[in-house]
């Protein structure tokens, strides 16, 4: 037997008291409404579960990228020759509508050859003054592949990828745990 009554819809805040609406209803309709809301919440938690998995995947990919970049840097530095170079000038280019700079470094190899090379990665500013002394590393016998040996040039990419990876993994684990906890609740 269905019981009839009234349901009040609106805000409990007195400021919005003129927006209260009394509607006739039955217990059967009210229970359907609650089930519909629970069904929506269940779908929302399932979507959050997918988001958690994607966040975990992003974390894993970023950690793998960080490991790859770190391995590349370690392989480069393992047998690299070290010397000091001088910034002699900058190449200025337009890339994607903005000005970027690449320093030209001159250094002397262990064999006594004087080499001028351009840094691979562009920068939006002139990182070093012209005439500044900078640490340089290059693979043995390949001085044209020389790189400026600073943390930014060698380790920044691997560090950022690893930090993003760890943060994404932590976020993914917390989201996944919260979703599992909510889905395991009775009535969820």
Handedness of CA 22, 24, 27, 32 (dihedral sign): negative
What number of CA atoms fall less than 13 Å from residue 3's CA on the CB side? 6
> Among 118, 121, 122, which Cα is nearest to 144's?
118
Number of residues that make up the chain: 188
Sequence spans of domains, the chain: 4-69+162-184, 78-148
pLDDT at residue number 85: 95
User: pLDDT per residue over 26-56, tens digit each?
Assistant: 555 444 444 556 677 778 788 888 999 999 9
Query: Of 7-11, 132-136, 152-156, which range is least confident?
Result: 7-11
User: pLDDT per residue over 169-187, tens digit each?
Assistant: 999 999 999 888 877 777 6
Distance CA 51, CA 176 (A): 9
pLDDT band at 111 (very low <50, low <70, confident <90, very high): confident
Q: Identify the DSSP state of 51.
A: H
Considering the domain delimited by 78-148, tell me its CATH architecture. Answer: Beta Barrel (2.40)
pTM of this structure: 0.69
pLDDT at residue number 66: 97
What number of CA atoms fall less than 13 Å from residue 43's CA on the CB side? 5
């Amino acid at each position: 037997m269905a019981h009839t009554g009234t349901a009040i819809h609106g805000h409990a805040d007195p400021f919005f008291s003129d927006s209260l609406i009394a509607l006739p209803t039955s217990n059967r309709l009210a229970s359907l409404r609650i089930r519909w809301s629970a069904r929506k919440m269940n779908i929302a938690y399932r979507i959050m579960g997918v988001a958690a998995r994607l966040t975990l995947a992003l974390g894993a990919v970023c950690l793998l990228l960080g490991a790859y970049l770190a391995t590349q840097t370690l392989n480069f530095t393992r047998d690299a020759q070290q010397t000091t170079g001088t910034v002699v000038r900058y190449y200025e280019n337009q890339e994607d509508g903005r000005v970027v700079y690449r320093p030209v470094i001159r250094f002397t190899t262990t064999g006594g050859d004087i080499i001028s090379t351009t840094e691979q990665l562009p920068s939006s500013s002139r990182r070093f003054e012209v005439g500044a002394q900078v640490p340089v590393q290059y693979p043995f016998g390949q001085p044209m592949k020389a790189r400026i040996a600073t943390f930014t040039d060698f380790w920044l990419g691997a560090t950022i990828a690893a930090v993003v990876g760890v943060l994404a993994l932590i976020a993914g684990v917390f989201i996944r745990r919260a979703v599992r906890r909510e889905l395991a609740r009775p009535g969820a």
